[in-house]
Chains A and B, each alone.
Chain A
Amino acid sequence: MNTFNKRPSSVFMSLGVVVALGALAVGGWRVMNGPAEGPAVPAAARGRAVTHAQGTTVVPEAPRRVVVFDLVALDILQALGVEVAGVAGDQFPHHLAPDADAKYPRMGSLFEPDYEAIHAAKPDLIVTGGRSSAKYAQLSRLAPTVDLPMSGANYVDTVVANTQLLAGIFGKEEKARELVTALRQSISALKETTSTRGRGLVVLVTGGRLSAYGPGSRFGLIHGDFGVPVAAEGLNASLHGEVIGSEFIREKNPDWLFVIDRDAAMGQQGGARQVIDNELVRQTTAWKKGQVVYLDPMNAYLIGGGLQAVKNLRDQVADAYAAQAGRVSGP
């Protein structure tokens, strides 16, 4: 009897669920289609089409309220002298405004945008890139959004392309040309210095483990753009590098060892020095000559593709070479 009683109600239940799902689907479909008819059309009337990593967006002339979801973009915009209306993230490298906390309204994190805050900020342009690229679709419904591509094999070329893209939007082409020319010149000057001063190896330290990176990798600019000859041939361009032991470093015996301390996300020195300072690494030429360079983790890891970050990295490497040379000094 009991089961007989239950049957009809369960049928009604499932019917109800089906109806509810149907209603949701229709509603969802409306929401999906709603915004597309809205802001896109009026914006198209006055603005320029910008082609970026995820398509083409019509951006208003000289946007004034820019919300930035990428440290690389923030870095470049700051170099160009563009003020922003809001940024995402918790930590900012020193060179990207020591007063960042007071200066910028927060728009959530790079991975989780705070949509209410963005709505309140009324942006006329949103910039995503790198870690926030995945949120492009959602953010582009709120305002015209431009997505910067990640730094690829041609590292500095990507930085230049991103700089020119953003400069175009804000009419800062002149400034961009200056910055890019200066960057290119300083890098080619560095290249002349590095090419004759021995082979280098890039190693990332995290959680006490070592991994090596080669040309074309996320730290490939050391070899490709800065011109440091490769100490370990055959390293692929994988995102997380190759797990190695200290024996590998000793065997490749680099003249220059570039260390990125991933754990030092706070901008201080992390545990990398202890990991690197061991009996095997001490036998390398790099260690004996004092040519172990701890790259600024913020510049190297967090905002690798920023114009200022690349310039800072170049300066750090140039300083290291100059300090060792005495006679052959980098500019």
Chain B
Amino acid sequence: MKAFAAGLALLVALAGVSLLVGVSQVSWGALFSPTPDERAIQVLVISRIPRLLAILLVGTSLGVAGLIMQMVARNRFVEPATAGTAESASLGLLAATALAPQLPVLGKMGVAAAFALVGTALFLFVLQRIPLRSALVVPLVGIVLGGIIDSVTTFFAHRLELLQSVNAWTTGDFSTVLRGRYELLWVTLGLTCLAYVAADRFTVAGLGESFTTNLGLRYSRIIALGLVIVSLVTALVVVTVGMIPFLGLIVPNVVSLLLGDNARRSIPWVALGGAGFVLVCDLVGRVVRFPYEIPGATIAGVLGSVLFLHLMLRRDARVG
């Protein structure tokens, strides 16, 4: 509990720093002086706070989604993006851009989310038809399905000369987050809470189908719930800011290394770690080439791959 409080304090401190970093001048002095700087407050309210909230929401929800995915699939190296959901959302965004470019941002989000749901439903449908001899089949099916959907996206994007746009919206980037442009992400908070409520079921499911059934629980239903949460979170993140690589892989792994596989215990930690990871990536991306930016996803890719390699080698040393 003490450790968690310390972690939380660290995150709050980071969040405070994040509010001050940006092209416009914002300082605590200007905000809390007797005559507050109106421009600074505007920037804070319109741009900085929404950006911070988006980062925290994305970090927590993607981290928890990764944890659930790994428990449900009983595979340590599964990511939320391996269900074809990210690819479906991307295809939906492409369809909206090509067919109805005038659609407001919220409308485009709606279309993409609908596509993502259909893609996930397809994933669940395919999973039902395939004998799951190994937990590895789950992510493999997802990767194959994602690849097929992605090829459709690429084909149309190539034809419509929108390949670069697709690339832009699949790379996680918080630079365009403003008040009124991220609010859909609040839904992920609800999904994260739902995951917490169902945490014990995921822990049990993580012990296997026969074990779960022996305890009188419906294994398939838990799996389905997990996948719905995972895919909805992923879809929401993809349509609002784009995908953050490695997050769903690294944070849950580090936490389970330290705390074990009890989901109820680890979800708060995963949420904290995910938020911290994204916050650090975004901060680095904002500072490195100031006043320009590097997408947070790019930083996450660099940091993540290093951490991931370290993790794999460590794990091998212990288990292997």
Pairwise interchain contact B293-A208, C-beta atoms closer than 8 A: no
Q: How far is the CA of A212 from the CA of B292 in the complex (A)?
A: 9
Q: Of the candidates B160, B161, B166, B292, which one forms a contact with A207 in the assembled complex, judged by CB atoms under 8 Å apart?
A: B166
Pairwise interchain contact B295-A279, C-beta atoms closer than 8 A: no
Q: How far is the CA of A245 from the CA of B46 in the complex (A)?
A: 12
Binds B, one of A27-35, A160-168, A266-274, A309-317: A266-274
Known: A90-B159, A209-B176, A265-B162. A245 touches B97 (CB 8 A): no
Pairwise interchain contact B165-A262, C-beta atoms closer than 8 A: yes
Min CB–CB distance B163 → chain A (angstroms):
10
A248 in contact (CB, < 8 A): yes
Min CB–CB distance B185 → chain A (angstroms):
15
Q: Of the candidates B97, B173, B291, which one forms a contact with A271 in the assembled complex, judged by CB atoms under 8 Å apart?
A: B97
Contact with B along A275-291 (1 / 0, CB 8 A): 10011100100000000
Pairwise interchain contact A244-B293, C-beta atoms closer than 8 A: yes
Residues from chain A with Cβ under 8 Å of B160 in the complex: 265-266
Pairwise interchain contact A247-B22, C-beta atoms closer than 8 A: yes
Q: How many A-B residue pairs have CB under 8 A?
A: 96
Contact with B along A104-116 (1 / 0, CB 8 A): 0000000000000
Pairwise interchain contact B162-A209, C-beta atoms closer than 8 A: no
Pairwise interchain contact B168-A269, C-beta atoms closer than 8 A: no
Q: How far is the CA of A248 from the CA of B181 in the complex (A)?
A: 17
Known: A206-B168, A243-B293, A270-B97. A248 touches B23 (CB 8 A): yes
Pairwise interchain contact A209-B175, C-beta atoms closer than 8 A: yes
Pairwise interchain contact B104-A243, C-beta atoms closer than 8 A: no
Q: Of the candidates B47, B102, B168, which one forms a contact with A245 in the assembled complex, judged by CB atoms under 8 Å apart?
A: B47
Pairwise interchain contact A262-B164, C-beta atoms closer than 8 A: yes
Q: How far is the CA of A248 from the CA of B295 in the complex (A)?
A: 15
Q: How far is the CA of A251 from the CA of B47 in the complex (A)?
A: 13
Known: A243-B173, A279-B46. A269 touches B101 (CB 8 A): yes
B residues 164-184 touching A (CB-CB < 8 Å): 164-169, 173, 175-176, 178-181
B105 in contact (CB, < 8 A): yes
Min CB–CB distance A270 → chain B (angstroms):
5
Pairwise interchain contact B104-A242, C-beta atoms closer than 8 A: no
**Chain B residues within 8 Å of chain A by Cβ, number:** 36
Pairwise interchain contact A278-B178, C-beta atoms closer than 8 A: yes
A264 in contact (CB, < 8 A): yes
Which of A262, A263, A268 has the most C-beta atoms of chain B within 10 angstroms of its own C-beta?
A263
Pairwise interchain contact A263-B162, C-beta atoms closer than 8 A: yes
Pairwise interchain contact B175-A207, C-beta atoms closer than 8 A: no
Known: A251-B23, A265-B162. A208 touches B176 (CB 8 A): yes
Q: Which residue of B lies closest to A236 (CB)?
A: B292
Q: Which residue of A lies closest to B45 (CB)?
A: A279
Contact with A along B27-57 (1 / 0, CB 8 A): 0000000000000001100110000000000
Residues from chain A with Cβ under 8 Å of B162 in the complex: 263, 265
Q: How far is the CA of A206 from the CA of B180 in the complex (A)?
A: 19
Q: List residues of chain B with CB under 8 Å of any chain A CB.
A: 22-24, 42-43, 46-47, 97, 101-102, 104-105, 108, 159-162, 164-169, 173, 175-176, 178-181, 289, 291-295
The 20 sampled A-B contact pairs (Cβ below 8 Å) are A206-B168, A207-B165, A207-B166, A207-B167, A209-B169, A209-B175, A244-B291, A245-B23, A245-B293, A247-B22, A247-B24, A248-B291, A251-B23, A251-B24, A263-B97, A263-B165, A265-B162, A270-B101, A279-B178, A279-B180
